[in-house]
A and B are shown apart, each in its own frame.
Chain A
Amino acid sequence: MAYEEVKVKKPLSLILLPILSVLTFFVVWELMVQLDVVPKTMLAAPTQVGSLFVTKLSDPNPDGATIFIHAWVSAQEAFIGYLLALGIGLPLGLFMGWFGVVRGIARPLFELIRPIPPIAWIPLTIFWFGIGLGGKVFIIWLGGVVPCVINAFVGVRMTNPTLIQMARTYGASDWQIFKTLCVPSALPMVFGALQIALACCWTNLVGAELLAADQGLGYLITMGRRLALPDLVVLGMVSVGLAGAAIGVLIDYVERRLLAGIRR
């Protein structure tokens, strides 16, 4: 390898600082609730949420399912929507980037639909799909497909024009240029889309479930509100956050493995 990776040692303070800030955050939060700075009907303390989490591991009350069932339902919806977003958005974006015909057809429609927040589709979605899996997957897909299209499109657009000229002098067809130059050039942006789209999907999942669901982490939050249980609300929020972060780490790992193989 031509370039050795430079390893920089982190000073101790830089390792301690994040831990310290997180600890402070939780301690202040706990104290605010315990000392009644914020009324207990408006916010739950971290310790309460923690103990509720332990309870909810096995107890389906009061919302009808254990925390794992909720998380599992949400994860299923999110992944189906996410995969569909990748499967449709990435090819569409790539084609839009290189083929003028596809761009001409798809771009105006895309630009029209793009500014509508996915949550605004919820009523129509309920008409079309009811409150089952299909509707939620559709909302999630809407959220994820936009960054997929944009990133893939921009990635193709960033293809070095000299490389395209080079291929042209060899007599390359449009399809050959697309396949051998545009797609590899777009890969880093496409991998960026994997992360961004997942974040969008996950965010929209909660939105979709807030309105139309009977299970899932978003539904847990809604139930907490209906039953006036702040600890349930916060537990739902924390679960969404943690699960999202965990998926992010997973994607990051997969991305790095893939990139190592494809591009150095």
Chain B
Amino acid sequence: MQVAALKPDTKQVKIEVKNLTKRFGDLLVLNRINFHVAQGEFLAIVGPTGCGKTTFLNCLSKLIPTSEGNIFIDGEVADPKRHNISFVFQEPTCLPWRTVRQNVAYGMQIKGFPAAKINERVDFMLDLVGLTETQSLYPNQVSASMVQRITVARAFAVDPDLLLMDEPYGQLDVKLRYYLEDELVKLWQTLKSTVIFVTHNIEEAVYVAERILVLSNKPTNIKAEVNVDLPRPRSLIDPDFVAIRKHVTELIRWW
């Protein structure tokens, strides 16, 4: 195994991305991306519009094949059938014909968890994201923020090795976002999952993540890496927070 290129850390390496390259025909989108994610780390990725963030996540989750390079989970090539990967998509992906409860259970059912375990786990997750009361409603009967909470709860419920989130709160208003970001951090702290969180929003990235990767324009590479060593709960007006936010903004100004 190679020496960690970007994160020389004592923590155990969980995810290893080596030389990840993606072309669509002649269009080189992702250009030899290398990085590591530690077990239980919360990594945020920010990058300009159209730089290939969604493509990047699709490659990581094996939804689309990579042109070169690969992604390794615990040293093995990632495979959704064997590894426990969850993906929270940019658009809502609740199943309209299932109740909130059945939606949260969906990932576990696909993975063949035993019924008793599913029940117990769903109860736990519903409680954690505050959906216990609405569990027997259908997705079109609950508010937009709840819909995203259902998908987040479903994603965490399978206890993923790797949780990928593609701007999950991009379409919500600011207040709800703050609320859901807090909830997300709480979920992550409770369940200790490894998270890769893609966003446009620098403040959001600094608020939730332990480390931020800043992507360049196409052909995309990792332009910079910023550690966010702030205590939690974080404050948006803490001078350290503001300093990091400004630093990342500064990096992005040259996009």
Decide: A165 near B63, CB < 8 A? Known: A2-B140, A170-B158.
yes
- The answer for the CA separation of A262 and B110 in the assembled complex, in Å, is 20
Q: Say whether B110 contacts A176, CB under 8 Å.
A: yes
Majority DSSP secondary structure for residues of A touching B: helix
Q: Which residue of A lies closest to B64 (CB)?
A: A165
Q: Say whether A184 contacts B95, CB under 8 Å.
A: yes
Q: How many residues of B contact A (CB 8 A)?
A: 28
- The answer for the CA separation of A127 and B85 in the assembled complex, in Å, is 60
Q: Say whether A170 contacts B141, CB under 8 Å.
A: no
A225: Cβ under 8 A from any B Cβ: no
Q: Which residue of A lies closest to B98 (CB)?
A: A184
B138: Cβ under 8 A from any A Cβ: yes
Q: Say whether B97 contacts A171, CB under 8 Å.
A: no
Decide: A263 near B97, CB < 8 A? Known: A165-B87, A169-B87, A170-B110.
yes
Q: Interface digits, A164-191 against B, CB 8 Å rule (1 contact, 0 not)?
A: 0111111111001000110010010000
A158: Cβ under 8 A from any B Cβ: no
Q: Say whether A163 contacts B95, CB under 8 Å.
A: yes
Q: Say whether A171 contacts B82, CB under 8 Å.
A: yes
- The answer for the CA separation of A61 and B89 in the assembled complex, in Å, is 71
Minimum CB–CB distance from A261 to chain B (whole Å) comes to 11
Instruction: Please name all residues of chain A whose beta carbon is closer than 8 Å to the beta carbon of B61 when the two chains form the complex.
Output: 168-169
- The answer for the CA separation of A162 and B94 in the assembled complex, in Å, is 10
For window 1-19 of A, CB contacts with B under 8 Å fall at 1-2
Q: How many residues of A contact B (CB 8 A)?
A: 22
B96: Cβ under 8 A from any A Cβ: yes
Q: Say whether A262 contacts B63, CB under 8 Å.
A: no
B21: Cβ under 8 A from any A Cβ: no
- The answer for the CA separation of A170 and B93 in the assembled complex, in Å, is 13
- The answer for the CA separation of A263 and B158 in the assembled complex, in Å, is 26
A226: Cβ under 8 A from any B Cβ: no
Q: Say whether A172 contacts B110, CB under 8 Å.
A: yes
- Which of A167, A170, A180 lies at the interface centre, i.e. has the most chain B CB atoms within 10 A of its CB? A170
Cβ contact of B111, chosen from A162, A165, A166, A171, cutoff 8 A:
A171
Minimum CB–CB distance from B22 to chain A (whole Å) comes to 16
For window 67-121 of B, CB contacts with A under 8 Å fall at 79-83, 85-87, 89, 91, 93, 95-97, 106-107, 109-111
Cβ contact of A171, chosen from B81, B96, B138, cutoff 8 A:
B81
A257: Cβ under 8 A from any B Cβ: no
Instruction: Please name all residues of chain B whose beta carbon is closer than 8 Å to the beta carbon of A168 when the two chains form the complex.
Output: 61, 63, 80
For window 137-169 of A, CB contacts with B under 8 Å fall at 160, 162-163, 165-169
Q: Say whether B80 contacts A169, CB under 8 Å.
A: yes
- The answer for the CA separation of A184 and B103 in the assembled complex, in Å, is 14
- The answer for the CA separation of A171 and B86 in the assembled complex, in Å, is 9
12 inter-chain pairs at a CB distance below 8 angstroms, sorted by A residue, are A165-B89, A167-B110, A168-B61, A168-B63, A170-B86, A170-B107, A170-B111, A170-B158, A171-B111, A173-B81, A262-B97, A264-B140
Further pairs besides A160-B93, A168-B63, A180-B109: 7, Cβ < 8 Å: A165-B87, A169-B86, A170-B107, A171-B80, A171-B81, A171-B85, A264-B138
